[in-house]
Amino acid sequence: MSGKSVENYLKALYVISENGKAVTTTAVSNYFKIAPASVTEMLQKLAEKGYIEYSPYHGSKLTSKGLQIAETVTRKHRLLEKFLHDVLKIGKDKVHTQACEMEHALSDEAEESLCRLLNHPDKCPDDDHVIPACSLPFSSCEDCIVTHNKGLEEVGKRGQHLVSISDLKEGKEGKISFVRGEHKTLQRLLDMGLTPGTCVKVLRVAPLSGPTEIGLRGSKIALGQDIASNVFIEVSQENQAGA
Amino acid sequence: MRAHPVINGEEQIASDNRNLVFALAGNANVGKSVLFNHLTGSSQIIGNWPGKTIERAQGTLDFEGQKIIVVDLPGIYSFSTFSMEEIVSREYIALENPDVVINVVDAAILERNLFFTIQLMEMEVPLVLCLNQLDAAKKKGITIDLKKLEQALGVPVVPTVAIRGEGIYELTKNAVEIAKRKGSKKPKQVKYGSEIEEKIQGLSLMIQSKKIAPQYPPRWVAVKLLENDPEIKKLVGSNSKDILRSADIVAEEIFQIHKEQAFAVIASERYALASKISNEAQNQSLMKTTLSDKLEWATTHRVLGYFTSAGVIGGLLLWTFTIGNFLSTLLSEGLKIISPVNPALNGSIWGVLWNGIFGGIVAGITLIIPYVIPFYLMLSMIEDSGILTRVAFMMDSAMHKIGLHGKALIPLILGFGCNVPAIRSCRIMETKRERLLAAFAITFAPCAARTILILGLVAAFLGSGWALALYGIDIAIIFIMGRVALKVVPGQSTGLIMEMHSFKVPSLSVIGKQTWVRTKSLIYIVFPIYIAGSALIQVFYALGVLGPVSNAIAPLTVGWLGLPVIAGILLILGIVRKEFILLGAVAIFGSTNLLLFLTPVQLITLALVGILYLPCLSTISVLAKDFGWKAAVTISLANFATALIVGGLAFRILSLLM
């Protein structure tokens, strides 16, 4: 089992489930277009290594160890797609396959440089999928910009797993940890009370990728989908289960 | 009148013959305009802030013999430079020095409101805190200890329920006292965490000694520099580069300590303080499910919410059209008694001139007023009640398709009645770009006059199927042009960040007054244009000027659009008001059966071009007033180009079919 195929499986589980729900073996075999038997074998191996929780009846679910790898690879993949499309002007239909090859070789350092080069993008070229937050311990992209001369070792890593508000269901809560986006939006969110560490609760999610209504500091605020997907919160463990 | 309030102490007492100035400041939807109404009664004037598309409301109040001017500042959340409203407000407070700032605060959302209060305290203005909507807070199980709040802020705190007029007298009395002792009683100084506090003090001393930006408090300038405020940086930078450099160094030090940038640290610290004060002063018992919660459920439910939204929009349109149509017919019937309304194109020059002037007045009275008043009434109602916020919440994703967010739906709908108030109501959007995009989309909306054109030229002769088709084409054009504008106008779409304030029972007197002053300000813009434009064009026609012009544009009208030469004259007449195209045709041909003079293809093309070719004169003038002449001309040209393309295509395609 190569590192590359581990990453591919973990990424697949992450992409298929998105909301952290268990994924059936059939779904994975459909995704890779290979026989369920060989998928089962692979999933069992991943479970042995502690990347996933596997149960023949309920399907597979990423552990926090697996989630971290899956998220990093997904992030690299989507950043690469953005780079291939926006900078190298490669067609939308081709970027996915090429990014799939490159994502495993991209170092963490190159990933962060790519993110800065592309001006902290939040979505893939097809505007469909949100690029996961980076693992650096910043509370905004501007914090990252001013530390451009520092190495990754010096900056360190974020301890907790972050979830975008737009991926949360009604009733979930957590602490604001990172906001991606340009200065004006960031300032506006700070003014409305979304400072780092603030507890927020998802009150209502409008259908058809509409806004998310959150409650904080005794007030209620609606955030459009494109803003909500860039507000990342740290969800407490019991809340994360079944998110 | 009651006796003068007694003012103790040796503080300097402002002379009574001078007018005091009160400024009302606070977050949006805290009941500021209700309070403003109670204070000023019928003396309000609503205009714009100089050079801005932002409404400025001002009124006067006579309190125990003291004349007071009350200025209602826009509802904002902060003094950063995110929006025009914020810049206007802070410049007013700092530069025009009102005698007292009344900070209106929603008692039910104390913490978030105090964030703004803290910023007012930092501006070191004479301040009174008006703790409003105390009844709503009580219903939510919130009680507030006024004494503790007063001590923490160092300003008088007056509880009010503005909608019932409770506490207004006390508030005014307190505000007058503070105003008369201006300069002697300042709010408490806002203290930051020790390591930032030191740096702010150092920077503020530098600013003070160099007398930089003396119109602002030095400490406030220091904080703004650390917040990286572009306006203040520019102001300071033009005087002293040293201070800018020092501020940058200090900001970098703060970043090193907190691992977060100074502007974010300052916002966090202010909120920490707001949270501390509100936690000490307020007591929250168990929340009960209120009627507001149930309404919330019905308006934002994932299925039911769409029905509620559709109901609100449909109801608003239906109400406007029904009432508007009724009033419009009534008024034009009434005016016909005085003088004929149809354009007179021959006879004595004075007769034509009078007819033109009268036609302009009639256009204003019958087309604008009957639609605007009922619309404004209902709009204020759904706006003040909080329903509009929920409609915007549900409709946000649909409006994103043309680069706007949920709130833009309202101006667009209003455009179906009349473009003029619709464009004025674009001010509910946050950024200038969004206002412009919404206004552009509105200029294509099939307003009442365009509907008359579709009905009179097409439905009357070719059946309602064709009329409906034209309506459909027009709506498709709104979306297509909306998307085109989105690509052309530079800048990013701002996402929706909108407070979902609680439902309220709107105050009828506030709504009535707002509607009246808004209508009045519209009349001032529209009527002169209508009257002058209508008179001028008819005189031109009577003098025979339009004939040559119409011949000159014949390559377009005849060659490209397949219309008769006379259509040039009709389209020029239609610039003032679109129904003149129809009325002019009847007058020129001398018959109501237009089929004798125009082919079906020509009728459809004329109607299409007539709808699209230019916004009417009053729309153009409102565009110019709110967005400048450049934008008005560009939008008009875009309309013109669209009309040529659509009209030309329609002529060619229809000629093959019919």
> Is B78 a residue whose pLDDT tops 80?
yes
Which of A137, A195, A209 has the CB atom closest to B397's CB atom?
A209
Computed over every residue of chain A, the mean pLDDT equals 84
Contacts of A155 in chain B (CB under 8 A): none
**Token couple for B629:** 């002449």
Confidence band, pLDDT 50/70/90 cuts, at residue A239: very low
Burial of B211 (0-12, 13-18, 19+ CB in 10 A): exposed
Contacts of B497 in chain A (CB under 8 A): 185, 188-189, 192, 221-224, 227
Distance to chain B for A152, nearest Cα, Å: 15
> Measured between alpha carbons, how far is B110 from A218 in angstroms, rounded to an integer?
8
CB A53 within 8 A of CB A60: yes
pLDDT average, residue stretch B383-388: 82
pLDDT, one tens digit per residue, over B227-242 is 988 888 998 888 888 8
* B376 Cβ neighbours under 8 A, 6+ residues apart: B421, B514, B515, B518, B519
Percentage of chain B exceeding pLDDT 90: 24
What integer pLDDT is reported at residue B456 of this predicted model? Answer: 81
Distance to chain A for B529, nearest Cα, Å: 39
pLDDT, one tens digit per residue, over B322-378 is 887 788 788 878 877 776 656 666 667 777 778 778 877 777 777 667 777 887 788
Confidence band, pLDDT 50/70/90 cuts, at residue B457: confident
Check B494 against A185: CB less than 8 A apart: yes
Residue in B with minimal Cα distance to A142: B261
Percentage of chain A exceeding pLDDT 70: 92
Residue in B with minimal Cα distance to A178: B260
Residue in B with minimal Cα distance to A186: B264
Residue range(s) in chain B whose domain bears CATH number 3.40.50.300: 20-180
pLDDT, one tens digit per residue, over A192-211 is 999 998 999 999 888 888 89
Greater confidence (B341 vs B435) lies with: B435
Confidence band, pLDDT 50/70/90 cuts, at residue B182: low
Computed over every residue of chain B, the mean pLDDT equals 83
Residue in B with minimal Cα distance to A219: B109
Confidence band, pLDDT 50/70/90 cuts, at residue B1: very low
What integer pLDDT is reported at residue B47 of this predicted model? Answer: 66
> Is A242 a residue whose pLDDT tops 50?
no
Which of B267, B393, B495 has the CB atom closest to A190's CB atom?
B267
The position carrying tokens 């007056």 is B158
* Nearest Cα residue to B498 out of A217, A219, A209: A219
> Measured between alpha carbons, how far is A52 from A43 in angstroms, rounded to an integer?
8
Contacts of A223 in chain B (CB under 8 A): 495-497
Check B271 against A217: CB less than 8 A apart: yes
Tell me the fold of B20-180: Rossmann fold (3.40.50)
Residue range(s) in chain B whose domain bears CATH number 1.10.287.1770: 194-284
Distance to chain A for B252, nearest Cα, Å: 9
Pick the CATH number of B194-284 from 1.10.40.30, 1.10.287.1770, 3.30.110.70, 1.10.10.60: 1.10.287.1770
* Nearest Cα residue to A194 out of A168, A172, A222: A222
Predicted complex: ipTM over 0.90: no
CB B110 within 8 A of CB A218: yes
Burial of B460 (0-12, 13-18, 19+ CB in 10 A): middle
> Is B399 a residue whose pLDDT tops 60?
yes
pLDDT average, residue stretch B490-511: 81
Q: A198-224 as b/e, with b when 16 or more CB fall inside 10 Å? A: bebebbbbbeebbbbbbbbbbbbbbbb
pLDDT average, residue stretch B648-655: 92
Q: Strand, coil or helix: what is B86?
A: helix
pLDDT, one tens digit per residue, over B614-643 is 888 888 988 998 888 999 999 999 999 999
Contacts of B498 in chain A (CB under 8 A): 211, 221-222
Q: Is the minimum CB–CB distance between B120 and chain A shorter than 8 Å?
A: no
Greater confidence (B14 vs A120) lies with: A120
> Measured between alpha carbons, how far is B132 from B426 in angstroms, rounded to an integer?
28
What integer pLDDT is reported at residue B7 of this predicted model? Answer: 36
**Token couple for B301:** 């439910």
Q: What CATH code would you report for A3-62?
A: 1.10.10.10
**At residue B313, what is the residue type?**
I
* Nearest Cα residue to A213 out of B141, B492, B505, B502: B502
> Is B550 a residue whose pLDDT tops 80?
yes
Pick the CATH number of A66-132 from 3.40.50.720, 3.30.460.10, 1.10.60.10, 1.10.1060.10: 1.10.60.10
Q: What CATH code would you report for A162-240?
A: 2.30.30.90
Interface test with B, best of A188, A227, A231 (most B CBs within 10 A): A188
pLDDT, one tens digit per residue, over B16-29 is 457 899 999 999 88
Domain limits of chain A? 3-62, 66-132, 162-240
* Nearest Cα residue to B544 out of B352, B413, B389, B393: B352
Which of B259, B260, B497 has the CB atom closest to A189's CB atom?
B497
* Nearest Cα residue to A185 out of B495, B436, B626, B346: B495
A114-123, B105-114, B321-330, range with greatest mean pLDDT: B105-114
What integer pLDDT is reported at residue A243 of this predicted model? Answer: 38
pTM strictly above 0.90? no
Which of B264, B393, B492 has the CB atom closest to A206's CB atom?
B393
What integer pLDDT is reported at residue B340 of this predicted model? Answer: 61
Q: Is the minimum CB–CB distance between A155 and chain B shorter than 8 Å?
A: no
Which of A185, A189, A211 has the CB atom closest to B396's CB atom?
A211
> Measured between alpha carbons, how far is B588 from B346 in angstroms, rounded to an integer?
10
Greater confidence (B106 vs B136) lies with: B106
